[in-house]
A and B are shown apart, each in its own frame.
Chain A
Amino acid sequence: MQKKKVVLTFPYKLINQPITYHLVKDYDLKVNILRARINPREEGRLMIEISGKEQSLEKGMNYLKELGVETQSLAQDIRWLDEKCTHCTVCIPICPTEAIILDRNQMIVSFDKDKCIGCGLCVPACPYKAVEILF
């Protein structure tokens, strides 16, 4: 069982195609939609967590590529700017998945990209704009 988070960008011509349906039915993949923005006449963006057997994932991702859907790993869309973080810790209770970790001995904050679901709640909470979500 493999799991990954990706951001899909759909060109305008694919807006009407039920791509998520095909990923589930044809490739036996579990799709959890974390965030979606579909605008008529513009491109669509879907942030999903997709899981399944390694082979099915590979086939599913190829299907998307052949269709012309751009895929990008989520880790690249959430940016933790370490040089701006002051380790104040106000974000710690805000993060729903504990992707923001506090070492309570040193009181130092760090970011675990793999746990982040891209909800973006930390972005307005950070007084120093140390987190960016580019969606």
Chain B
Amino acid sequence: MPKTIREINEKIKRGEAVVVTAEEIIDIAEEKGVKKAAQEVDVVTTATFGPMCSSGAYLNIGHSKPRIKLGGGRAYLNDVPVYTGFAAVDILIGANALPDDDPRNKIHPGEFSYGGGHVIEDLVAGKDLKLTATAYGTDCYPRKKLETWINIKDLNETVLFNPRNAYQNYNVAVNLSDRVIYTYMGILKPELSNANYCSAGQLSPLLNDPYYKTIGIGTRIFLGGGVGYVAWQGTQHNPTAPRTPNGVPRTGAGTLAVMGDLKKMSPEYLKGTTMTGYGTTLTVGIGIPIPILDEEILTYTTVKDEDIYAQVIDYSQAYPEFKPGSLGEVSYRELKSGRILVQGKEVPTGSLSSYARAKEIADILKNWIKRDKFLLTEPVQSLPSADSGLTFKPLKERPLE
């Protein structure tokens, strides 16, 4: 008999819910069979911890005396530009923002040791940040300049808002050229000397719910060490990506836009990140609980690394020039073994996504549910799935003349 989220929540309130991680469910289902496992297990926790470039935070700093209108002006936090297109004292920090003219970025390949992602980490860590701003001055907001230290504890709303997180699968990056390249997938040594991947594989949220049957708008999640929610599909959400017979995408597919109260988060799960020669970003820790409503949903959570495939893409030419096609497909079991075969060559692998940290988050979320009565939510709206026909389109460039 299928369960409902309400029933599962009642069990959670009574302290009786059976909660396991997406790694543990694999052996449980193998031992007991899918039917029994689906009856006995109430929630499977999934997680991921990796660099997620489309991340940011918006904050309201409160009004100064006399008032200033940052909207339409220019503002910086620790010399990193923040977006001032929203009202008088609402500012938006993006993970990839970089200081104007940073001398450390002028010598190839560029250090990029401090940017928006690091500002967000410093903010959530409770450090003082330097705010410098100029504005054009109006009758009601006469002030033209503001220089002050700010601290998260004194701010009004401080919201982590990430337009694209938790990618459902991703590429494996290699370099076919004869010189080192510096990319968002890390430093890639020439002539297929290393291969970098970025996914938590069998622990990854959307890979455990490939058709988004339980994860949707309003799903309550672990985000950055605190509680967050799925706000929308993420940008580049591509549910129509090619999939294996058991529904697992073979390439980057779904994504999530997530948000939560930054004041309750932790710098341990929101880390400023440097990709040498590329830029800065934010590494985000996310954990998503999957309610086991029926056997079908349980079956999806038993996905193993050996059942999940990724495409090997050349980042020296094919990727930058937007040329389609891949050099081959490899499973996450092969990737995690440390060596994959590409064009007949054995290539050592590295991951940008921390499996160890993902495991930790899945365990923490398990404890939140079992011990702290973290309740699951029913999505208020489903994410577009494979039957929606939604595809991630390239830019249709139209010259101005």
In the complex, the chain A residue whose C-beta lies closest to that of B182 is A124
**Closest CB in chain B relative to A124 CB, distance in Å:** 4
Given A89-B355, A92-B338, 10 new contacts (CB under 8 A): A86-B356, A87-B357, A88-B353, A92-B349, A93-B195, A93-B350, A94-B194, A104-B338, A125-B187, A129-B274
B336 contacts the other chain (CB 8 A): yes
> Which residues of the other chain, B, contact A86 by a CB distance below 8 angstroms?
49, 271, 283, 354, 356-357
Q: How many angstroms from the CA of A124 to the CA of B187 in the assembled complex?
A: 8
Interface string of B266-304 (1 = CB under 8 A from A): 000001011111000001000000000000000000000
The answer to whether B351 touches A89 (Cβ under 8 A) is: yes
The answer to whether A129 touches B352 (Cβ under 8 A) is: no
Interface string of A87-126 (1 = CB under 8 A from B): 1111111100000001010111000000000000000110
B348 contacts the other chain (CB 8 A): yes
A128 contacts the other chain (CB 8 A): yes
- What interface size band does chain B fall in? 20 to 34
In the complex, the chain A residue whose C-beta lies closest to that of B110 is A124
The answer to whether A124 touches B355 (Cβ under 8 A) is: no
Interface string of A36-61 (1 = CB under 8 A from B): 00000000000000000000000000
Q: How many angstroms from the CA of A100 to the CA of B186 in the assembled complex?
A: 17
A68 contacts the other chain (CB 8 A): no
- What interface size band does chain A fall in? 10 to 19
The answer to whether B113 touches A88 (Cβ under 8 A) is: no
The answer to whether B276 touches A125 (Cβ under 8 A) is: yes
The answer to whether A89 touches B350 (Cβ under 8 A) is: yes
B196 contacts the other chain (CB 8 A): yes
Q: How many angstroms from the CA of A102 to the CA of B356 in the assembled complex?
A: 11
> Which residues of the other chain, B, contact A127 by a CB distance below 8 angstroms?
51, 186, 273-275, 283, 352
The answer to whether B351 touches A93 (Cβ under 8 A) is: no
The answer to whether A88 touches B354 (Cβ under 8 A) is: yes
The answer to whether A88 touches B50 (Cβ under 8 A) is: yes
Q: How many angstroms from the CA of A101 to the CA of B349 in the assembled complex?
A: 13
Those 10 A-B pairs whose CB atoms lie nearest each other, nearest first: A93-B348, A93-B194, A124-B276, A87-B356, A107-B355, A90-B350, A88-B354, A107-B356, A127-B273, A86-B354
The interface centre, meaning the residue of A91, A104, A127 with most chain B CB atoms within 10 A of its CB, is A127
The answer to whether B351 touches A90 (Cβ under 8 A) is: yes
Overall SS of chain A's interface: loop
Residue of B194, B274, B338 touching A102 (CB-CB under 8 A): B338
Q: How many angstroms from the CA of A93 to the CA of B349 in the assembled complex?
A: 6
The answer to whether B354 touches A93 (Cβ under 8 A) is: no
Q: A125-B186, A125-B187 are in contact. Are A88 and B351 (CB under 8 A)?
A: yes
Q: A125-B186, A129-B274 are in contact. Are A94 and B350 (CB under 8 A)?
A: yes
The interface centre, meaning the residue of B195, B349, B354, B355 with most chain A CB atoms within 10 A of its CB, is B354
In the complex, the chain B residue whose C-beta lies closest to that of A86 is B354
CB contacts under 8 Å to A, within B204-254, are: none
Q: How many angstroms from the CA of A90 to the CA of B277 in the assembled complex?
A: 15
The answer to whether A92 touches B348 (Cβ under 8 A) is: yes
The answer to whether B350 touches A108 (Cβ under 8 A) is: no
B337 contacts the other chain (CB 8 A): yes
Q: How many angstroms from the CA of A106 to the CA of B49 in the assembled complex?
A: 15
The answer to whether A128 touches B356 (Cβ under 8 A) is: no
B39 contacts the other chain (CB 8 A): no
Residue of A106, A107, A108, A129 touching B113 (CB-CB under 8 A): A129
> Which residues of the other chain, A, contact B351 by a CB distance below 8 angstroms?
88-90
> Which residues of the other chain, A, contact B151 by a CB distance below 8 angstroms?
none
In the complex, the chain A residue whose C-beta lies closest to that of B281 is A127
> Which residues of the other chain, B, contact A94 by a CB distance below 8 angstroms?
187, 189, 194, 350
The answer to whether B354 touches A87 (Cβ under 8 A) is: yes
> Which residues of the other chain, B, contact A88 by a CB distance below 8 angstroms?
50, 350-354
> Which residues of the other chain, A, contact B195 by a CB distance below 8 angstroms?
93
In the complex, the chain A residue whose C-beta lies closest to that of B273 is A127
> Which residues of the other chain, B, contact A128 by a CB distance below 8 angstroms?
271, 273-274, 283
B132 contacts the other chain (CB 8 A): no
Q: How many angstroms from the CA of A92 to the CA of B353 in the assembled complex?
A: 13
The answer to whether B352 touches A90 (Cβ under 8 A) is: yes
Q: How many angstroms from the CA of A89 to the CA of B197 in the assembled complex?
A: 10
B382 contacts the other chain (CB 8 A): no
Q: How many angstroms from the CA of A93 to the CA of B277 in the assembled complex?
A: 18
Q: How many angstroms from the CA of A94 to the CA of B338 in the assembled complex?
A: 12
In the complex, the chain A residue whose C-beta lies closest to that of B353 is A88
The answer to whether A93 touches B193 (Cβ under 8 A) is: yes
Residue of B196, B271, B337, B355 touching A90 (CB-CB under 8 A): B196
The answer to whether A90 touches B186 (Cβ under 8 A) is: yes
